[in-house]
Amino acid sequence: MAAESEPEGTIKSSHTEQTTSQPSKHTPIPSNTTLSFFHPMVSTAGPRKQIFFDPTDSTRAAIVNCGGLCPGLNTVIRELVVGLWDLYGLRHIYGIEAGYRGFYSIDMAPLQLNPKMVHGWHKTGGTLLQTSRGGFHLQNIVDAIQCYGFNQLNSGILVYIIGGDGSMRGAVKIFDEIRRRKLNVGVVGIPKTVDNDVGIIDRSFGFQTAVEMAQEAINAAHVEAESAVNGIGLVKLMGRSTGHIALHATLSSRDVDCCLIPENKFYLEGKGGLFEFLEHRLKENGHAVVVVAEGAGQDMIPRTDAQKEEKDESGNPVFLDVGSWLKSKLKKWWDRDHPNELFTVKYIDPTYMIRAIPANATDNAYCTLLAHTAIHGIMAGYTGFVCGTINGHGDFIPAIPIHRSYIHDTCNSCKYYRYRSVTNQPDFEKT
Ligand SMILES: Nc1ncnc2c1ncn2[C@@H]1O[C@H](COP(=O)(O)OP(=O)(O)OP(=O)(O)O)[C@@H](O)[C@H]1O
Ligand SMILES: O=P(O)(O)OC[C@H]1O[C@](O)(CO)[C@@H](O)[C@@H]1O
């Protein structure tokens, strides 16, 4: 194993080559430490020597967040600003507003940030930099990084991109273009997805906070269902193509009778279907709680040709409301099979509430770890990487494997079998 070789997708920043002889006074990592890649999927190169980057008075950093919200976004931004300022002495730190388009939009000048300004940001939900979907224009973005006052000659610029799978795909393209143009720019991704669908890393920040909030909705649905004759509490949770929030909230709540996720197709009528299962539960308990992730059952909801084509600004398909559809299906089923018997469906949709809140204590601490990993990694001379924890260790992971590694294999995970054993719901596999 060659100690000095580079793992695929991660290269040394060009600026580090110029400064290896003068370690920074601000650098908190002892000079004899090595960086290692712990995960078998990415640990092809083994440990490498620490290479220091010496920030100059004009080294600049740009921070951008793209895509949807996630608890802890403001914490990550805060910790990047405070960490870069205090640990490495950077004084030119900019927030790029409203996502990728903020790099080049004339009416969105980069916002200069300092520790005083971001002091209380970790206590707030959303993103104080604002975010958006779409607007990815590679040449405009890299031109802006190159020319728009960031890239002072040889002083280096650090670009921090916080976002989900789409943003990371964009980050890889930016990284490649910067490499092609031989710019003195380091690029780091910090994966952000409330859906927790990033592969390789242990979990994404904000996920625990979102699950806690989801549980509150489930509790309310349970109370409503229990308080009615043949009551069903129906909760729709976020989860475009994976049902991690629904699954984790179900596992921790114990009040859920059935959890429907995009990874596992379900059906309504007939043997082994949802209606048959709910019929039994209502007979046994008098009430039931159903959790459905937003991406589940989309193939069953009737839609017009125009709706089939609909995409958001980033090109993601637009979903129809599976909760409202399911509620109406449940009502029709009951009226058909049990005319004149009382029945109630209480539908709760906390979709945006679970991601618009500030991070809880654990997530806030995790955000700090991620921000520090991103800071130290780039200062150690790495670029084109994404940071996350793997088995509890803060790690630098080449951006290329991570943006290809979004998890869709939930149904083979032990958590999936655990939740099936908690709910005893059907497997929806037609025999
Ligand atoms: N394949 C791609 N190449 C370049 N940029 C992309 C790509 N896919 C998405 N983007 C850009 O990345 C940004 C965010 O993408 P998107 O809206 O899909 O959110 P995301 O990063 O996946 O986060 P979320 O998990 O909240 O959906 C947008 O500006 C979008 O234009
Ligand atoms: O309504 P918006 O802001 O596009 O975000 C909704 C999407 O964001 C996600 O949380 C992904 O981050 C999906 O679960 C959801 O479909």
When pLDDT is averaged across residues 131-139 and rounded to a whole number, the result is 97
Q: What is the mean pLDDT of residues 242-250?
A: 94
**Closest ligand by atom to 170 CA:** 1
What's the chain's length in residues?
A: 431
CA of 28 to the centre of ligand 1 (A): 34
Q: Return the closest-CA partner of residue 273 out of 385, 421, 429.
A: 429
Q: Is 427 among the residues known to form the active site? A: no
11 beta partners: 383
Using CB distances shorter than 6 Å, the residues near ligand 1 are 66-68, 99-100, 133-136, 163-167, 169-170, 173, 193, 314, 316
Q: Report pLDDT digits (tens) over 205-221.
A: 999 999 999 999 999 99
pTM beyond 0.90: the answer is no
pLDDT at 299: 95
Mean pLDDT, residues 236-244 taken together: 93
Cα 327-329-334 angle, rounded to 5 deg: 95
**pLDDT > 50? residue 13:** no
Please state, in angstroms and rounded to a whole number, the distance separating the CA atoms of residues 201 and 270. 40
What per-residue confidence (pLDDT) applies to 231? 98
Using most ligand atoms within 8 A of CB, pick from 66, 192, 240 the residue to mutate for ligand 2.
240
Q: What's the average model confidence in pLDDT over 35-63?
A: 51
Q: How far is the CA of 113 from the centre of ligand 2 (A)?
A: 27
Catalytic entry in 54, 165, 195, 197: 195
Residue nearest to atom 15 of ligand 2 (CA): 240
The set of protein residues with a Cβ atom below 6 angstroms from ligand 2 is 67-68, 164, 193-195, 238-240, 294, 312
* pLDDT score of 22 more than 60: no
**What is the SS3 assignment for 145-156?**
HHHCCCCCCCCC
* Domains located in the chain, CATH noted: 43-205+359-403 (3.40.50.450), 207-354 (3.40.50.460)
With a CB cutoff of 8 Å and minimum separation 6, the contacts of 393 are 38
DSSP letter for each residue of 33-87: -EE---STTT-SS--EE-------TT-EEEEEE-SS--TTHHHHHHHHHHHHHHH
Helix (H, G, I), strand (E, B) or coil at 202: coil
Q: Is the pLDDT of residue 152 over 70?
A: no
Ligand 2 centroid to 171 CA: how many Å?
A: 19
pLDDT level of residue 54 (50, 70, 90 thresholds): low
Half-sphere exposure of 99 (CA within 13 A, CB side): 21
Amino acid 400: pLDDT:
66
> Once rounded to an integer, what is the mean pLDDT over residues 218-238?
98
Look at 24 and 67; give whichever has higher pLDDT: 67
Our mutation pick for probing the ligand 1 site, out of 136, 198, 352, counting the most ligand atoms within 8 A of Cβ, is 136
Model pLDDT, residue 55 = 65
Is 357 or 391 the better-scoring residue by pLDDT? 357
Question: For the complex shown, is ipTM > 0.90?
Answer: yes
Quick one: pLDDT at residue 35? Answer: 35
404 or 392, higher pLDDT? 392
Highest mean pLDDT among 35-39, 41-45, 156-160, 322-326: 322-326
Least confident span in 14-28, 99-113, 120-134, 255-269:
14-28
The answer on pLDDT for 361 being more than 60 is yes
Distance from C-alpha of 353 to C-alpha of 418, rounded to nearest angstrom:
27
- Residue from 35, 123, 109, 108 nearest 77 by CA: 123
